[in-house]
Amino acid sequence: MKYVKLFEAFVLQDLEKQYNIELELWDNGDYMTLDKIIVSPEDRAGGIGSEVMQKIVDYAEEIGRDIYLTPDTSYGGTSKSRLEKFYKKFGFEKKPKHDFKSKNTMVRYNERVEDQEDERLSKIRHFKGSVQDLDDWLRSKIGETNPYKDTIMVNGPHKGQKDKSLPYQDFQNGESDLIKNRHAR
C-alpha cells in the first residue's frame, strides 16, 4: 500500500538556532521548496548563507529531493541577479519550461548516482522509445507486466501460439492479437 502525504513538512529547523537565521524550507515528499532564508545584516558576508545552503543541498541529496526556489529581494537581498548568482554556485538553474512541479523559477535537481535516470527511461520520457522499451523498463522495476503472457491464442493468425504481445501494444499500433483474438472474438 502506498501512503500519500497530504501536507508539507517544515525541515531543518535546527539551522535557525545554530546559525541565527530565519529559514523556511519545506519538504512535500516529492521535492523541497526554499521559501525564505534570511541572514541578519550584521552576519552577512561571513559565509553563513553559503554554509547553510550547503547543508540544505547536502540534506536534499541525502533524501533524494530536488529543491525549488524563487530569488526575491523582499527579505533583504540587494538584487535579484546577485541572489541568482549565489544560488547558481550551489547547482541551481533556471527552471525549464517543461517542469511543472513547482511555480518557483529556479531548481536544483537531485544528483544522487542511484537516482540518475537510466538511459531507457530517458528515451521513453522523451518519446523516443518504443512500447517494447517501456515494457522492458517496467519489467526491470516491477516484474512481469503481461498477465496474459501464457494465454494460448484461440483464433486468428497466431492460433495455438502463446500470446507474445504487450498489454498496451494494441493502443499503439493495432497489430497485436491481444484483444482481438484472445477470447475467440
22-47 tens-digit pLDDT: 989 988 888 899 998 888 888 888 88
pLDDT in tens, 91-123: 999 998 888 888 899 999 987 544 455 677 777
What three-state secondary structure class fits 14?
helix
If one compares 84 and 150, the residue with the highest pLDDT of the two is 84
Centre a 10 Å sphere on the Cβ of residue 135 and count the other Cβ atoms it contains.
19
CATH superfamily of 9-115: Gcn5-related N-acetyltransferase (GNAT) (3.40.630.30)
Q: How far apart are the first and last CA of the chain?
A: 36
Q: Which residue has the cell 511555480?
A: 103
Does the structure show a pLDDT above 50 at 157? yes
Confidence (pLDDT) at 94: 93
Helix crossing, 48-63 with 80-88: angle to 10°? 50
Q: What is the pLDDT of residue 184?
A: 47
Q: Which of 12-16, 121-125, 130-134 has the lowest mean pLDDT?
A: 121-125
What is residue 10's predicted lDDT score, i.e. its pLDDT? Answer: 67
Where are the chain's structural domains? 9-115, 119-173
